[in-house]
Amino acid sequence: MAKVIENRILAHQSYTAPTGASGTGSFLQLSEVEERLTKLEKAQDPKDLTLKASSLYVELPHKEYMNAQCVTPGSDNTTYLFTKHGSKLLANLVLPGHFFKGLRQLSAMDEHGAKIATNAFQKFAGARDEQVMVRTINTRHPDDYNKAVRAIRSCHSTKYAPLSNLQLTRDLESALTSGVTFPDDATGAKGNVSYSTMPVLEWVLSDERMRMRFCGVDPAHAAFAAVLSAGSPFLDGEPMPVFEVHNSEVGMRRVVIRAGVFLADKGIFIGAYGLGGETSWTHRGNVSRIRHQLKSAIEDILTEANAVCEAYREAGEIEIEDAYTFLQKQIEHEVPQSVAKEITETLASQVAVKTLAPMQQPQVGSALQAALASLTTATLAEICDAVATVAKSSTDLSKQYDLEKLAATILHKGRKIAGAK
């Protein structure tokens, strides 16, 4: 089968809690993220080509990498490999629905099949007259990391408006440095606070997506917390307001800012519920509009994030009778059966750890089974924690997003059932 470059995780750094009396924890600053993205963009040297699909000669070789060359007069002789996403996007623009999978299977049969697949792709491409935008980058060859190759990363209509991860990070830093107007918890008076020095709790960068979780605790509160918690800007066990930023340079999702709550001691995130919990922008038109709207969007999202923190605190006092049945009802139509099983077992293991005496050390399996058999009550917060814990274990950012949103939905519904305001 003609091979493609699979999606890779390029960076993943999370907040590390302090250890020992003199520990300070480990986390990134926005300026460090910007520095790393600057180096990456320089190495990748992204370039967009505007051309007709028929201008690319695409080859689907047997057991080798799918590749393309530009055949327009005056073009260079660069041979481009394809990322997995780039190959799908070009195929979507050129081929009939679900046809690409068949061509790849044809190329896997033998050399003759590969030739037929290549000719078929070119036949369909020749019938496409519209211009497309092809995004290319330098990347490491998947079979030889000492070798750099040029790859087609994505393909879009010419109406697509790119926004790089680097530019978004710079815009975000500018918005935060200029000061966010936010009401003080104690007085209610509004003040202009710079959040640019607060830590990035988690930064995940792949070939296809970027997510950055940013601390929403203002510097004054962080300094107070540091005195009480060995240098950490977060109070142990305290839910912390957070907003996260999503982007995809290859068009896999909108630019998104979402509110939520972060539990530093557990390393888990629960999103906000409802439309007010996030703001998003499409990759269309002039992307400078995003820059101009970032500051006000962050102010709104931080307000929502603090509301989620308060809701989570209340959830710790709400006991759910027959927690197993309640959880099953919330997730049975939302996630695959295997994921539902993982969530319920995670909740059961949390209950087992909480209820067992300190000196008891049973086998994990027996403790889990006992907890599942006797799981009658759990707090709403514990139920939400179980969903968020499973989300954390996934390496797929899209699946994490959906599970964290599900945790937020359960938090909302549980409080509503309990009659919380």
pLDDT higher for 18 or 43? Answer: 43
Nearest-CA neighbor of 255 among 195, 301, 215, 305? 301
pLDDT band at 233 (very low <50, low <70, confident <90, very high): low
Report the alpha-carbon distance of residue 263 to residue 26 in Å, rounded: 16
Average per-residue pLDDT in the chain? 85
pLDDT tens figures, 236-269: 668 889 999 999 999 998 999 999 999 878 889 9
Which of 81-90, 181-190, 383-392 has the lowest average pLDDT?
181-190
Residue % of the chain over a pLDDT of 70? 82
C-alpha count within 13 angstroms, C-beta hemisphere, residue 115: 3
**Of 209, 153, 155, nearest in space to 4 by CA:** 153
Least confident of 109-113, 115-119, 215-219, 283-287: 215-219
Window from 2-6, 25-29, 167-171 with minimum mean pLDDT: 25-29
> In this model, does residue 408 exceed pLDDT 70?
yes
The pLDDT-based confidence of 70 (bands split at 50, 70, 90) is very high
pLDDT confidence of residue 175: 87
The dihedral built from the CA positions of residue 115, 119, 120 and 125, taken in this order, carries a sign that is positive
Q: Shortest CA distance to 25 belongs to which of 258, 235, 290, 203?
A: 235
Q: Which helix (H) or strand (E) holds 163?
A: none
**Average pLDDT rounded to a whole number, residues 293-319:** 92
In this structure, are residues 32 and 22 in contact, taking their beta carbons and an 8 Å threshold?
no
DSSP annotation of 179 reads: -
Q: CA 408, CA 272: separation in Å to the nearest integer?
A: 5
178 — pLDDT class (breaks 50, 70, 90): confident
pLDDT at 38 over 50: yes
In this predicted structure, what is the pLDDT of residue 81? 97
Q: What is the pTM of this model?
A: 0.85
Contact 75, 136 (CB under 8 A): no
pLDDT class of 286 with cuts at 50, 70, 90: confident
The span from the CA of 399 to the CA of 414, in Å, is 22
93: its two tokens: 């623009």
Interior/surface letters 29-53, b for 16+ CB within 10 angstroms, e for the rest: ebeebbebbeebbeebeeeebeeeb
